[in-house]
Amino acid sequence: DGQGLVKYKGFWLLQLLFRPSLSAHNNFRAKATDVILSTMPKSGTTWLKALTFSIANRNVFPIDQTPLLTSTPHMLVPFLEFDVYWEQENPNLENIPCPRIFATHMPFEILPDSIHESDCRIIYICRNPLDQFVSHRLFFLENKIEKEADPLDIDEAFNMFCQGIHPCGPFWDHMLGYWNAHLENPRKVLFIKYEDLKEDITSQVKKIAEFMGFPFSQEEEEQGLIDQISGLCSFESLSNLAVNKTGNLKGIVENSTFFRKGQVGDWTNYLTPAMVERIKKLMDSKFGNSGLTFKI
């Protein structure tokens, strides 16, 4: 397909993550206290990692000594399939302090069974598909993940995106899997949107903390802790830290490429009205009356 993807159970998974995803599926044992962050690539994973890490560890590290100042969010919250099961079938995850926070790009249907069966919680963040597409395109080109393959031009890539052929796609199935799970059991799956975090970070941080089982006390609120965490995890703050400007993940992805622009609506600079029309129609037909909508 030119993007290094393989089709599995109706989804297009990154080939290099396929084996580790299967290992995670077969071997990961979720604990009731675990928090699983699920996302499609380029939907706000890095941001959500920083926020949840900060919320869970706010009594462990004072905010001015948080490890986020010296480690990237990706080092602090590992991807199940990218970091944890990359090299080993059965890594020892027992000694990680609770709550353990892991991220994954796996569709809901492909998550390890123990995630479904245990009382662990899942936070899903998604982003309007136009921004997600543009963000991914630029990320992909910058990192040259498929060095040998000719990069697709934007029209070809968009065409494939609309056919569902992109990492973890089709986007509508990935989103609807978690959306329906959230509707069915909102205590198990929290569903948030990148745009909502941008619009009102304070109420979203509160909501995430409550969902994780670490609500802010009135005293903490009065001390301004929510604002401190939101500020620390903002694009401006994280993207300016030296640790996020240098180095890479597994020699494949430059840390700096996780921080590009961090805005809503950058797609207006890249996509034609015809492309936008096509996505709108696609969203109407795929999301139907599920209740899932994006402002475009």
Active site residues: 105
Report helix, strand or coil for 30: coil
Stretch that binds ligand A3P, among 57-65, 152-160, 232-240, 288-296 (CB under 6 A): 232-240
Site for ligand A3P in 37-76 (CB under 6 A): 39, 41-47
Query: What does residue 237 show for φ and ψ, rounded to 5 degrees?
Result: -70, -55
Which of 82, 108, 214, 259: binder of ligand A3P (CB under 6 A)?
259
Q: Does residue number 154 form part of the binding site for ligand A3P (CB under 6 A)?
A: no
Q: 82 with 248: CB under 8 angstroms? A: no
Cα–Cα distance measured from residue 1 to residue 12, given in angstroms and rounded to the nearest whole number? 10
CA 253 to chain centre: 15
Is there binding between residue 235 and ligand A3P (CB under 6 A)? yes
Considering beta carbons, is residue 216 or 259 the nearer one to ligand A3P? 259
Quick one: which of 154, 181, 233, 279 contacts ligand A3P (CB under 6 A)?
Answer: 233
Sheet of 35-39, strand order = 101-104, 35-39, 121-126, 189-193
> Are residues 238 and 255 in contact, defined by beta-carbon separation less than 8 angstroms?
no
How many whole angstroms separate alpha carbon 102 and alpha carbon 86?
14
Confirm or reject binding of residue 78 to ligand A3P (CB under 6 A): no
- Answer yes or no whether residue 245 interacts with ligand A3P by CB under 6 A: no
Q: Would you give the binding string for ligand A3P spanning residues 266-285, x where CB under 6 A is met? A: x-------------------
Member of 185, 261, 284, 288 binding ligand A3P (CB under 6 A): 261
Residue 32 or 252 with smaller CB distance to ligand A3P:
252
Instruction: State the Cα–Cα distance between residues 145 and 292, nearest whole angstrom.
Output: 31
- Tell me if 258 contacts ligand A3P by CB under 6 A: yes
The secondary structure of 249-285, three-state, reads ECCCEEHHHHCCCCCCCHHHHCCCHHHHHHHHHHHHH
Contact set with ligand A3P (CB under 6 A): 39, 41-47, 131, 135, 138, 233-235, 238, 258-262, 266
